[in-house]
Amino acid sequence: MVRISGLVPSAVASSMLVMFGAMPGVAQAQTSEPYPIKQIRMIVPAGAGGGYDAYARILSKHLEKHVAGNPVFINQNMPGASGMVGTNWAASVAPRDGSVIAITYNTLLLEPLFGNPAAKYDPRELEWVGSMGKQQQTCATWHSSPIKTIDDARQREVIVAATGATGNSALMPKQLNSLLGTKFKVVSGYSTSESRLAVERGEVEGICGLSMSTLKASSPDWLINKRINVLVQTGVQPQEGLDDVPLLSKLVKNEEDNRALAVLAVPEETGRPFFMPPGTPKRLVTIMRRAFDAAMKDPAFLSDAEKARLELDPVTGEEIEKMLKDVYNTPKALIQRAQDLSK
C-alpha cells in the first residue's frame, strides 16, 4: 500500500529541528511555459532491478504528462561506485540545458561534507527537483540465521553484503558497530540485486542499510513470507509493520552521538532525491519542480506506485535544498563525529 506519512518527534527529530529549522511552505502552482527540450534523459546511478531504478521508472512514466510540451523521458542506468559514477557524471559532465535529470543515492549527499575527493560535486549547487519518499534503513538477517536480534549481533561476527564503501549497506553496519558494539563484517562488491541473492544463497547472513521501500518494491517475498529477521531500524518513528523493531535513536544514549545521527539522518529525510545539473536554467528547474509536485498527486501515478509497492512521502526540491544548506553549516566538531560514525 502507498503510504504518505508525517514525522513524529524523537531524539533525532528534535535535534534536526534545532539544527536545521522548520521547512518553508512551497507554492504548488504549475507553469504553462512549454519546455524547450523534447527528450530528457533520466540518469539512474544504479543497475536495473533495484529500488532507485523502480522509483525512477515510475516517475519517468508520469512526469512527462505534467511538463508542458510533454517531452519524452528516457531512462539510462549508469551504475558504479555505489552511485558515485552516475552522480558525478550528472553533476559535472552532463549538459546543463534541461535535458538531464538524475536520481542519486542519498548517502552521497554528505560525501563532500566529509571531504571525499571522489565526489566531484557540491550538493548545494545541484538543482533539486524533489524526492518521492524518505528512506529509513533497516538491518536484517536471513530467516535461517541464528542472529535474530541486535543483541545477538553483539555476540559474534555477522557477515553482511554491501555494494560499495559509500553505500547504505556498508555505512549502516559500521555505524552499528561503533554505536552499539555489534560485530558486523562488511563484504563489498555486490551489485544491488546480487547482494540480495547472496543472502538467499547463504553466502552472507544479511544486509544492513536496506529500506523497507526497496524491499517492498524489489523483494516483496522477503516481507510477505517473513524470510528476514529485522534487527533494528533508523528514522524518527517505527516504519509500518515494524512496530516491534527497535529504533537506533532509542538504543543510543549519548547526546552527542544522537546529534551526529541527526546529521546522518539528513540523507534519509531526502530519501531518493532527483536533481538537475548545476547551471541548468532556473526557469526549467522551476518547471520540473512544479511538474514533480503535480505528479505526486496524480491519481494514475499513485495507482501505479501502489501496484509497485512503492512507499511515498514526497519531499519538495525547495525542502531538499534547505536541508542541505543547513547541514553544510554544521559545526566542524559535530561533522567530525558524524564522519567517524560513517567509517
**pLDDT bracket for residue 18 (50, 70, 90):** very low
pLDDT tens string 252-261 = 989 899 899 9
DSSP-derived secondary structure for 177-203: HHHH---EEEE----HHHHHHHHHHTS
CB 40 within 8 A of CB 98: yes
Cβ atoms of 109 and 123 within 8 Å: the answer is yes
DSSP class of residue 101? Answer: E
Q: Is residue 14 over pLDDT 70?
A: no
Higher pLDDT, 17 or 42: 42
Residue pLDDT, tens place only, 223-269? 999 999 999 999 877 887 899 999 998 999 898 998 999 898 899 88
What mean pLDDT do residues 81-87 have? 94
**Cα(108)–Cα(90) distance, integer angstroms:** 13
**Pairing relation of β-strands 137-142 and 228-233?**
antiparallel
Residue closest to 321 by CA, chosen among 131, 45, 166 = 131
Nearest of 89, 85, 64 to residue 74 by alpha carbon: 64
| Integer angstrom CA distances of residue 10 from 13, 247, 256, 291, 302 | 5, 10, 15, 33, 29
Q: How far is CA 169 from CA 24, 37, 186, 225, in A?
A: 32, 37, 8, 23
In CATH terms, is domain 11-134+269-340 a member of 3.40.190.150?
yes
Cell of residue 186, nine digits = 562488511
> Band of the pLDDT at 10, cuts 50, 70, 90?
very low
**Domain 137-233 grouped into CATH 3.30.565.10:** no
**Average pLDDT of the segment spanning 8-29:** 45
Q: Determine the pLDDT at residue 31.
A: 53
- The whole-angstrom separation of Cα 112 and Cα 299 is 38
Query: At residue 141, what is the residue type?
Result: T
- pLDDT one-digit tens code per residue, 60-81: 999 999 999 999 999 999 999 9
Q: What is the pLDDT of residue 297?
A: 97
Distance CA 343, CA 219 (A): 28
The answer to whether 11-134+269-340 and 137-233 have equal CATH topology is yes
What's the pLDDT band for 32 if we cut at 50, 70, 90? low
- Cell triple for 117: 575527493
Residue scoring higher pLDDT (17 or 331): 331
- Biggest alpha carbon distance in the chain? 61
Overall average pLDDT of the 44-56 stretch? 89
Provide the grid cell at 334.
Answer: 559535530
Q: Where are the domains of the chain?
A: 11-134+269-340, 137-233
SS3 content of the chain, % helix, strand, coil (to 5): 40, 15, 40
Would you place residue 94 in the very low, low, confident or very high pLDDT band (cuts 50, 70, 90)?
Answer: very high
Separation of alpha carbons 129 and 292, rounded Å: 7
